[in-house]
């Protein structure tokens, strides 16, 4: 029995070489064949993503988004002036580098008048453009500027606006 097996091996190798389709070649071909479908799947995924973006932008053609980072430093806003185009939704990212709490309120004159006399000192993001920013933290809020004009942002915690914690959004 043993003698038969030993004798058969060389013959089998010779056969596969002659055929030109030995086990080695087949094994090499497999990863390449698998790579093609997976590349197609990636491409299809990208197309789907692109399609989704097109559909989104088709819903609101004029919508523009921007992120503006404002630093709260020594009870001031840096920068103190921001310029945007009408129709822009601005995501304000507020970095409070001070050891005291601040807040960010953006809006028209009526909004600021209300906050100057109001007692509400906690804004958790339920109102667009109004957010509390505890000492040493980062918070964000989004606000859409529909019409041209000047909109103020301020911190209405006692004394902060008078101290200079105000800024302007110029929309136009």
Shorter beta-carbon distance to Cu ion: residue 88 or 96: 96
Q: Which of 159, 154, 157, 156 is nearest to 80 (CA)?
A: 154
Q: Which of 76, 112, 123, 160 binds Cu ion (CB under 5 A)?
A: 160
Which listed range, 17-25, 89-97, 100-108, 112-120, lies at the site for Cu ion (CB under 5 A)? 100-108
Are 131 and 91 a contacting pair, CB within 8 Å? no
Which listed range, 56-64, 109-117, 125-133, 164-172, lies at the site for Cu ion (CB under 5 A)? 164-172
How near is the Cβ of 153 to Cu ion at its closest, in Å? 11
70 sits near Cu ion (criterion: CB under 5 A): no
| Cβ neighbours of 157 (radius 10 Å) | 17
155 sits near Cu ion (criterion: CB under 5 A): yes
Q: How far apart are CA 145 and CA 107, in angstroms?
A: 9
Helix (H, G, I), strand (E, B) or coil at 135: coil
Element of type H or E holding 115: helix 109-117
123 sits near Cu ion (criterion: CB under 5 A): no
Q: Which residue sits closest to Cu ion, CB atoms considered?
A: 155
For 72, list phi and psi in degrees, rounded to 5.
-95, 115
Shorter beta-carbon distance to Cu ion: residue 102 or 123: 102
How near is the Cβ of 61 to Cu ion at its closest, in Å? 38
At 163, list the tokens.
Answer: 């101290």
Q: Which of 93, 138, 152, 157 binds Cu ion (CB under 5 A)?
A: 157
Q: Which of 77, 90, 94, 102 binds Cu ion (CB under 5 A)?
A: 102
Q: How far apart are CA 69 and CA 73, in angstroms?
A: 13
Tokens 């064949």 map to which residue?
A: 33
Contact footprint for Cu ion (CB under 5 A): 102, 155, 157, 160, 165
């Amino acid at each position: 029995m043993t003698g038969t097996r030993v004798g058969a091996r060389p013959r089998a190798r010779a056969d596969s070489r002659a055929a030109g389709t030995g086990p080695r070649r087949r094994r090499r071909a497999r990863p390449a064949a698998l790579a093609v479908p997976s590349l197609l799947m990636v491409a299809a995924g990208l197309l789907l993503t692109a399609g989704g973006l097109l559909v989104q932008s088709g819903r609101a053609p004029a919508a523009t988004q921007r992120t503006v980072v404002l630093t709260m430093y020594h009870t001031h806003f840096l920068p103190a002036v921001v310029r945007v185009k009408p129709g822009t939704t601005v995501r304000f990212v507020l970095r409070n580098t001070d050891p005291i709490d601040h807040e960010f309120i953006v809006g028209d004159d009526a909004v600021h008048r209300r906050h100057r006399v109001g007692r509400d000192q906690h804004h958790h993001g339920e109102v667009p453009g109004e957010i509390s920013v505890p000492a040493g933290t980062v918070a964000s809020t989004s606000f859409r500027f529909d019409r041209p004009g000047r909109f103020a942002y301020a911190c209405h915690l006692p004394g902060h606006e008078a101290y200079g914690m105000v800024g302007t959004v110029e929309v136009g």
